Structure 1
Amino acid sequence: MKFVDEVAIQVKAGNGGGGSSSFRREKYIPMGGPDGGDGGKGGDVILVGDQGLNTLVDFRHQRSFDAQNGNAGKGRQMTGRSGEDLQIRVPTGTEVYDLETEQKLGDITEHKQQLIIATGGKGGLGNIHFKSSVNRAPKRSTPGEQGQTRQIKLELKVLADVGLLGFPNAGKSTFVDAISQAKPKIADYPFTTLYPALGVVRVDAESSFVVADIPGLIEGAAEGAGLGIQFLKHLQRTGLLLHMVELPAYEGMADPVEQFHQLSHELEKFSEQLQGKPRWLVFTKADLMTAEDSQELVKGYVEAIGWQGPVYCISSINKHNLNALIKDIAEFLFMEE
């Protein structure tokens, strides 16, 4: 399924039904008074969170949504039936914006959470409301109000506990494959990952956390270079970033120290909030060299970077240090809760 994380749609709430102008017509009451009922309310347009969805691709096929109109009132003080609300399912993690005002209307973060984004019009008043001592037979009734029409933008930001940050071919997808049941595409060339993938990491029978693998970034990502700008936003909801750097740099890529500083700069340019998130440094592909060589390289890179935070050296292929990293992530996340 194609991953789509941003769409613009139009929603139209239902119009209210018109009020009735009616008079009693009964056999033994020749001069019956007004008895026109009110119109029914128009249906609302409601977004509903669905944790079973992970993309907005369905909105590429339908861009306009209309709720049902209310029915008109009738005689004998019969109120018209209200229009049915229109419920639209969206993935959890969807932010909603009004395109005309750029106002944020809400954020769907929980399963079955509801957000009214367009309100149905009120029903009109029947002529019974206009009876008075000086006007015992009013013919006046009011039309129903128009339902709200809105142009809105839906923006999906994946909900994950841990986000993976790194250049293409840094070993992020292999890492997710090794620690979870997710099956991301893996190959020996850059830009294997073309859209975010989520993996659930089971710590024990009662606890787990979610890892988000996003496409690899390159220098200039915050300005739109490569695939990164489109997906940097997906890291904003995570509680922890794993900055992954491959030990033997991929051919044609910058050395690990330069990679680290380039991506740190991209984070800072994109979002101060993202730059300030807790971040751990993880060196990958340790299986491609001896333990002594990898330890020596890591020590040199950490000193050159000036890194003061947690450091890990792992191999997703032979599972080296994966259990220790998972254990520390779980302790960090659950402690935060």
Structure 2
Amino acid sequence: MADSNFIDYVKFCSRSGAGGAGSVHFRREKHVPKGGPDGGDGGRGGHIILRGSSQLWTLLHLKYKKHVIAESGKGGEGGRRTGADGKDVILEVPLGTVAKDAETGEKRFEITEDGQEVILTSGGRGGLGNDHFKTATNQAPHFAQPGEPGIEEWIILELKLLADVGLVGFPNAGKSTLLSSISAARPEIGDYPFTTLVPNLGVVGYRDDKSFVMADIPGIIEGAAEGKGLGIRFLRHIERNSILLFMIPADATSVQEQYRILLGELEKYNPELLDKKRILAISKADMLDEQLMKEMELEIPKDIPHVFISSVSQYNLDKLKDLIWQAIHAE
């Protein structure tokens, strides 16, 4: 995913079609000079619909759509003919897209399956023709129902990446290097903060042709939940991951302190994130000897499985994949 092509937030005006008006019409045929009412109903206004697509990874195609407008329904006609429905507008979105009301911030729904369709903004109902209003005392009603107006509202779409494993760590923890080492993904890698400016997905091959999906999330810094650094823009991508892989480099001043800060930022953003399974990887372990590893293990939190790894030398990467696979499939 190139930086310019990854869009995970769009806001637009969604306007559904108005319903068509019911018809005021009377049957007029040869030898039937006073036929009864036969006005047809108006057609339904077009809906705005979201459809999930597993072929999409970004909301880029919707970035410049500021107004999405559906057709209005056509009016009814004589002979009890119903007007044509307005054409629906179908917007394809990646799996993991959340629709929200832009004014209230209220979540409407989430698209999680390929082909799943949900009406975002409903079209107005068509009005009833005068045929519906005849009674014993009024056998020639000269009125019909107007169609319902369409709905105009501002909508926000947010994308949360769907991945089995989300990488969590400070900038320069080695997340991008790990992803490029164990998958075909090729994220930008550098020795300066925030090299990763967009999330990257990689499919990691495992034994017997099995695989799982890993997401490299841009680095978290202390205060990210309050908007510092890259802020909370990318924290939402972690919400969809079933496992969180914490990465702390071997040259960190304190593994325990970094882990505490990372947990704190996740908790401030969304306390439910702490219920997810966690694994701790101490990266850049090629600079450690066995004695240093034993000393570092004394300060590693006891409530989390851990492994020392080196993406450069491939040290313990198979062991890490084993831990991840077991965590994904544990009951």
Same fold by TM (over 0.5)? Answer: yes
Instruction: Please identify, of 294-303 and 66-75, the stretch whose mean Cα deviation from structure 2 is larger.
Output: 294-303
Instruction: Please identify, of 48-57 and 327-336, the stretch whose mean Cα deviation from structure 2 is larger.
Output: 327-336
* Aligned counterpart for 1:317 among listed residues 301, 312, 315: 312
TM-superposition CA deviations, 1:45-103 (whole Å, max 9, x none): 11111122122222220121111111101111111111122111111101111223433
Unaligned runs of 5+ in 1: none
Q: Using the TM superposition, give the Cα deviation of residue 8 of structure 1 relative to its aligned residue in structure 2, in angstroms.
A: 1.8
Q: Using the TM superposition, give the Cα deviation of residue 305 of structure 1 relative to its aligned residue in structure 2, in angstroms.
A: 4.2
What residue in structure 2 maps to residue 151 of structure 1?
Answer: 154
TM-superposition CA deviations, 1:206-250 (whole Å, max 9, x none): 53111010111112111111114211121111111111111124x
SS of the aligned residue for 1:37 comes to: coil
Q: Using the TM superposition, give the Cα deviation of residue 304 of structure 1 relative to its aligned residue in structure 2, in angstroms.
A: 2.5
What residue in structure 1 maps to residue 272 of structure 2?
Answer: 273
What residue in structure 2 maps to residue 233 of structure 1?
Answer: 236
Q: Using the TM superposition, give the Cα deviation of residue 136 of structure 1 relative to its aligned residue in structure 2, in angstroms.
A: 2.2
SS of the aligned residue for 1:304 comes to: coil
- Runs of 4+ more than 6 Å apart: none
What residue in structure 1 maps to residue 132 of structure 2?
Answer: 129
Counterpart CA distance in 1 for 2:279 and 2:326 is 14
Are the structure 2 counterparts of residues 121 and 171 from structure 1 closer, same or farther at C-alpha, using a change threshold of 3 Å?
same
1:140 equivalent to 2:135? Answer no
What residue in structure 2 maps to residue 54 of structure 1?
Answer: 57
Which residue identity lines up with residue 161 of structure 1 in the other structure? D
What residue in structure 2 maps to residue 259 of structure 1?
Answer: 258
- Work out whether residues 283 and 298 of structure 1, in 8 Å CA contact, stay in contact via their aligned partners in 2: no
Counterpart CA distance in 1 for 2:303 and 2:36 is 85
- Work out whether residues 48 and 91 of structure 2, in 8 Å CA contact, stay in contact via their aligned partners in 1: yes
What residue in structure 2 maps to residue 162 of structure 1?
Answer: 165
Unaligned runs of 5+ in 2: none
- Work out whether residues 246 and 285 of structure 1, in 8 Å CA contact, stay in contact via their aligned partners in 2: yes
Equivalence map 1:241-256=2 (5 Å): 241-249=244-252, 254-256=253-255
What residue in structure 2 maps to residue 329 of structure 1?
Answer: 324
Equivalence map 1:1-337=2 (5 Å): 1-249=4-252, 254-287=253-286, 289=287, 293-336=288-331
Counterpart CA distance in 1 for 2:209 and 2:178 is 22
Are the structure 2 counterparts of residues 309 and 255 from structure 1 closer, same or farther at C-alpha, using a change threshold of 3 Å?
closer
Which residue identity lines up with residue 54 of structure 1 in the other structure? W
| Superposition RMSD in Å | 1.7
- Work out whether residues 247 and 297 of structure 1, in 8 Å CA contact, stay in contact via their aligned partners in 2: no
SS of the aligned residue for 1:329 comes to: helix
Counterpart CA distance in 2 for 1:265 and 1:101 is 27
- Work out whether residues 255 and 300 of structure 2, in 8 Å CA contact, stay in contact via their aligned partners in 1: no
Are the structure 2 counterparts of residues 306 and 101 from structure 1 closer, same or farther at C-alpha, using a change threshold of 3 Å?
closer
- Work out whether residues 56 and 156 of structure 1, in 8 Å CA contact, stay in contact via their aligned partners in 2: yes
Counterpart CA distance in 1 for 2:121 and 2:319 is 49
Counterpart CA distance in 1 for 2:151 and 2:121 is 5
Number of residues of Structure 1 aligned to a counterpart in Structure 2: 328
Counterpart CA distance in 2 for 1:297 and 1:69 is 71
Between the two proteins, what is the percent identity of the paired residues? 49
Instruction: Please identify, of 126-135 and 82-91, the stretch whose mean Cα deviation from structure 2 is larger.
Output: 126-135
Q: Using the TM superposition, give the Cα deviation of residue 255 of structure 1 relative to its aligned residue in structure 2, in angstroms.
A: 4.4
SS of the aligned residue for 1:139 comes to: coil
TM-score, normalised to structure 2's length? 0.93
Instruction: Please identify, of 210-219 and 278-287, the stretch whose mean Cα deviation from structure 2 is larger.
Output: 278-287
